[in-house]
Amino acid sequence: MEHTLSNDTMAVSGPLKTPCYLWRWATFSNGYGHFVVGGKNVLAHRWYYEHLVGPIPRGLTLDHLCGNPLCVAPLHLEPVDIQTNSQRGRHTKLDRLKVLSIRSMAKEGKSTKDIAAILGVGRWTVDGVLAKRRWGNIEDA
Ligand SMILES: [Zn+2]
């Protein structure tokens, strides 16, 4: 199948002026869309950015300006360093206390799903914290 925004996504109005293009196919547990191309698993939003805008500078991650991890609209993506991405905090209502709670609940053996439900955040957010993709700069108390 050819990857085009119309094949792969559903346009919905989001928080930004232009619509969000939400990925319709497979997603990782962290909420990002992905697909396999040339035997490699690629993140949908990164692939779209690289094909429609250009290469993502080394070491940078794409921040979703619309806060929607499923969105692949290139205009909604901005390459930033990981620190900036995690500190912008516009994705969620996470704060330091929640980050620490997520970590301690995970240590107690609670599932991502339970933690997300208890704290009222998305599962992908919990996964991101646990994988230290986000808030990795916050040390345990
Ligand atoms: Zn968007």
Instruction: Provide the token pair at 136.
Output: 């990795």
Q: What separation in Å is there between the alpha carbon of 10 and the centre of ligand 1? A: 11
Looking at residue 117, its pLDDT comes to: 80
pTM of the full structure: 0.62
Neighbours of ion ligand 1 (CB under 5 A): 14, 20, 66, 68, 71, 73, 76
The amino acid present at 7, given as its one-letter code, is N
Q: Which residue, chain included where needed, has tokens 């916050």?
A: 138
**pLDDT, position 141:** 47
pLDDT the model gives residue 50: 95
Distances (CA, A) of 68 to 37, 97, 111, 118, 141: 23, 23, 23, 21, 30
**Measured torsion, CA atoms of residues 48, 54, 56, 62, in degrees rounded to the nearest 10:** -40
Q: Distance from the CA of 90 to the center of ligand 1, in angstroms?
A: 13
Which of these, 49, 18, 22, 19, lies nearest to 33 by C-alpha position? Answer: 22
Is residue 55 within 8 Å of 104, Cβ to Cβ?
A: no
Instruction: Return per-residue pLDDT of the chain as tens, 141 residues.
Output: 789 999 999 999 888 889 999 999 998 888 899 999 889 999 999 999 999 999 999 988 898 888 889 999 999 999 988 777 777 755 455 677 788 888 999 999 999 988 888 877 778 888 888 887 666 666 664
What amino acid occupies position 3?
H
Distance of CA 75 from the midpoint of ligand 1 (Å): 8
For residue 17, the CA-to-ligand 1 centroid distance in Å is 9
